[in-house]
Amino acid sequence: MEVTFNKTKIIATVGPASNNHEMLTALVKEGVDVFRLNFSHGKHEDHAKVVSYVRQINQELGTTVCLMQDLQGPKIRLGDVENGQVEIHAGDKIKLVCDNSVSTATRLSTVYTELARDVNPGDAILIDDGKIELRVISTDKDKEVEVVVIYGGPVKPRKGINLPDTAVSAPSLTEKDKEDLHFGLDNNVEWVALSFVRRAEDIVDIKRIIAERGKNTMVVAKIEKPEAIKNIDEIIAATDAIMVARGDLGVEIKAEDVPMLQKMIIGKCNKAGKPVIVATQMMESMITNARPTRAETNDVANAVIDGADAVMLSAETAAGAYPLETIRSMSRTIASVESHGEVFNKISFPNNNSGSFFSKMVIAHACTLARDTDAKAIVCMTRSGYTAFNTAKHRPKASIFAFTDSPKLLNQLNMVWGVRALLYEQEDSSTDNMLTEFRTILTKQGFLETGDVVVNITSMPVTDRTSANTIKLSRQ
């Protein structure tokens, strides 16, 4: 029986509802490609158990599920609240203080010590995903801000604060993030997501730490600040992947602007050959319900049509009542969309002045050949992932199989659209022998059948794996 798989990948966040071996195994069988470890919650020992479970599951099932560590970033929050909740009302003039004391109805406190220095009169301060809005009247630029309440309501402990009009001075990589990052690198996570990215330098900083550790962990830049939108081209160029993190982004900017920004970012990432993730509230109702709303199903479908490499679930799989049903529903939606032709063959040819022009041209023509011959598979050998990433950007209908001798890359590629990676460590094969072996392996695993057309992307001589320079058309 021929084995098929969805091209668009599914990322599931691990939490109390899913952090055991049995549930993680079931989620993989339902279609999870990447597990997200949310370092805004949980202790290192809890995350270490999940890492161990996922590695075991890959061994047991022969899968290549990868891990994405999501760093908390400079999340600005309230402190504790008197009696667990206080009420504030529109028109009230109150103080916002930077001393992490207990909040009252007239004096809210924040754990962020630089807030009074960062804000200016007229700036908006949003609390609890924008449910509460304050406006700055004045600030002493030290510890105290006077604000007027625009929209009031109940104020609860530790709720997040967003500053959409303010240039926040806190670095994207906090001291907590650095400790968490070293833990992730020690445990060889394949991807690390940096929260509240504002500029390309934020990516350069975290990549420098990764390089100093001698690791090749890839970086996801989370787009959730207005500054990131302004600097999006530079951020895409600097990072390995992008996440459209619609939760905070939809608070920091107008919610009605998010859909078109999502499309814009996906388009830019597709053109650059950088994986792009769409995240937040994709199937939010399934935290408590066994079926998604029609709007949620449409949201997932539109992300796939737009060209997302992966769609991500948060509380749905971390704390929801129906994690398996959520993955099943998302997987079915992806499969339904991908049964139509709109998502495939978005082939674009490189400019003469683009980097690695010849390799990019070879890969683009290979995808054109796969389209015109109705090939079942595009097969490549990769050591860095370059050929696989650049093949995926053209969204071929043919499945992409990337053979690699890197165990880390084997899992890393599991987040890239349409790619299935396989380990191949033999060094002494000729090009023809190697390509024949690849087709034999894929046939044995059920990905190819007799008579299937295969487009091979390789380098000649075979020992030169620095660039793709050869296309070979085969029939199995």
Residues annotated as catalytic (active site), given as ranges = 36, 77, 222, 280
**Contact assessment for residue 83 and residue 104, using Cβ atoms and an 8 Å cutoff:** no
Maximum CA extent, the chain: 77
Q: How far apart are CA 411 and CA 69, in angstroms?
A: 14
Q: Which residues contact 11 (CB under 8 A, 6 or more apart)?
A: 32, 33, 34, 35, 36, 68, 277, 279, 310, 311, 312, 313, 415
